[in-house]
Each structure stands twice: as structure tokens, then as C-alpha cells.
Amino acid sequence: MSRPRSSAVLVALAIGAAFAFTALIALGTWQLYRLQWKLTLIERVEQRVHATPVPAPGPDRWPQVTAETDEYRHVRVTGRFLYGLTTRVLAATELGSGYWLLTPLRTEEGHIVLVNRGFVPSGSREAQGKQGNAESSLLTVTGLLRISEPAGGFLRKNDPAANRWYSRDVQAIAAARGLRDVAPYFIDAEASPDSTDSGAPDRPVAGLTVVTFHNNHLVYAITWYALALMVLGAALWVAREERRMRRTGTANQQSDHKNDRDRGQ
């Protein structure tokens, strides 16, 4: 039969269980806070996407542009496309594999905004880099503001020297194309008459922006809370077993004493 644990061991087990329980409850509660934050973010982004287009942030606003305040904002910008400086970025869409065409647009104020004019399939003429060198006529592009993607993509890093691009890294593309005064964001052109570059030497498919957010915080919260309950249940089971063994031990000692007294008589 197992013997009761010493008081020091029980204290150590109690402290460990209390720490684990508290930590797991804190993690679960933190995930609930994250859930509320994510739901608020999703609601805010939905409002931005469907809002009336506003002018894209100019140079005076560039230092304040962040994902939290501006990502997926519905914007418009007027200027001329510089087709000869188009960059092809590897893409995988509902239309298959191919490339995004990121073309600099020189605004009326003189600064540059990179515009993702849309998707072209791998086998197309445009995917081979044959966009031409002409500038477009003055036009207005409407779309969603996106934040630069400097980390690369498809488990590969961008290789500017070889002109291989796996993510839409605005700063790296601007440096590779010798562009100055470039906005720190790019715009995903939407499929609308306002964003159609009339007379362009190619016809990329615009309006393929996917607005999704991973939201597993409720699942994580339930998991942490379930683990906390398991720790609490294990602690209560240990406490019950200790109480049972101590009661059994006390009863056995009393029985032994009684037997000793009986033999002594």
C-alpha cells in the first residue's frame, strides 16, 4: 500500500499545481482578449473595404501608415503608369498560378505609388515581361491599400539581382527599379472602369484581393481552460488520495495498538 507523502512534498505539489492552474487560466483569458481584438479588427476592415474611396495617403502621411490604421483602406490615386518598370511577383490565385503585375504609377504630385494591376497566368505574354515601355495616359486607379511584404513568400526570399520576386516588397522593388519618392505601401487595383488602364499593352485580372484573417482564438481559449480544469482535477484527486491514505494509516495504527493491548492482557 502507498504511503502518504511528506508535508514538504505536498506543499511543493500544491504550489506547482496552483502556478500551472493560474498560468493556464491567464493564457485562456488572454486568448479571449485576442478574440475580441480580432473581431473588432475584422469589423473595421470590412468597413474600410466597402467605404467610399478616399485619396491614397501622400508623402506627409507616409510615416503614419500602418497595417492597423490603413490596411485594406479603399483608396484612389491619379497618375500615369510606367509600364517599362513593371515587376512580376509570383502568385497563386483562384485562377491558377502566375504573377501579379506591380507597376509604378507616377502621381500628379510627382511621387510614385506601386499598383498591383492584377493577375496574369504563367503562360501569358505579359508573364514573360513584355509589358512595353510606354506610359499610360492620365488615369485614376481605385483599389485597396496594402502594406509592403518584406519577408518573402512561398518559403523563398526575393532575389532582386535575378529579378525573381516572391512577395510584394515595396522598398526592395523600388530600389531594384531605381525609383525614388515611393509610397511605403502598394494598391491592389479593383476590377472597375475607374481602374482599367485603357490602352495598356496587357490585360491583367484585377479585383482578386482576398481579405481573410485567421481567427482560432476561441479554440485556443477553450484548450487552455480545459488544461486548467485538468490540472485542478488532478490536484483534487491527489488531495483525496492523500486524505484516504492518511485515514487508512490512522485506522491501521489504532488497530495495531488495540491488538498490542489485547496481547499484553
Residue 56, CB half-sphere, CA atoms under 13 Å: how many?
Answer: 32
* Cβ atoms within 10 Å, residue 134: 14
Res. 183: pLDDT tops 80:
yes
Q: Which three cell numbers stand for residue 70?
A: 490603413
pTM across the whole model: 0.69
Cα distance between residue 9 and residue 12, in whole Å:
5
CATH topology of domain 73-195: OB fold (Dihydrolipoamide Acetyltransferase, E2P) (2.40.50)
Q: How would DSSP label each residue in 14-51?
A: HHHHHHHHHHHHHHHHHHHHHHHHHHHHHHHHHHHHTS
Question: Phi and psi at residue 245, in whole multiples of 5°?
Answer: -65, -35
| The residue type at 29 | T
The DSSP code sequence of 213-234 is ----HHHHHHHHHHHHHHHHHH
pLDDT for 206-247, tens place per residue? 888 877 777 888 899 999 999 999 999 998 888 888 888 777
Strands (E), 82-131: 87-93, 96-107, 112-121
Say if residue 197's pLDDT is above 70. no
Residue 135, pLDDT > 80, answer no
In this prediction, residues 101-109 reach a mean pLDDT of: 94
Q: What is the pLDDT of residues 12-48, one digit of tens each?
A: 888 989 999 999 999 999 999 888 888 877 787 788 8
Which of the residue ranges 2-11, 151-160, 175-184 has the most confident prediction, judged by mean pLDDT?
A: 175-184
- Is residue 132 pLDDT above 90, yes or no? no
- Please state, rounded to an integer, the average pLDDT across all residues of the chain: 84
* Nearest CA among 209, 156, 173, 204 for reference residue 49: 209
pLDDT bracket for residue 192 (50, 70, 90): low
Nearest 5 degrees, angle CA 207-CA 78-CA 117? 30
Confidence band of 201 (pLDDT split at 50, 70, 90): very low
The per-residue pLDDT for 125 is: 63
Q: Is the dihedral of CA 30, 32, 34, 37 positive or negative?
A: negative
Residue 70 banded pLDDT, cuts 50, 70, 90: very high
The helix or strand, by DSSP H or E, that contains position 188, with its residue range, turns out to be strand 182-189
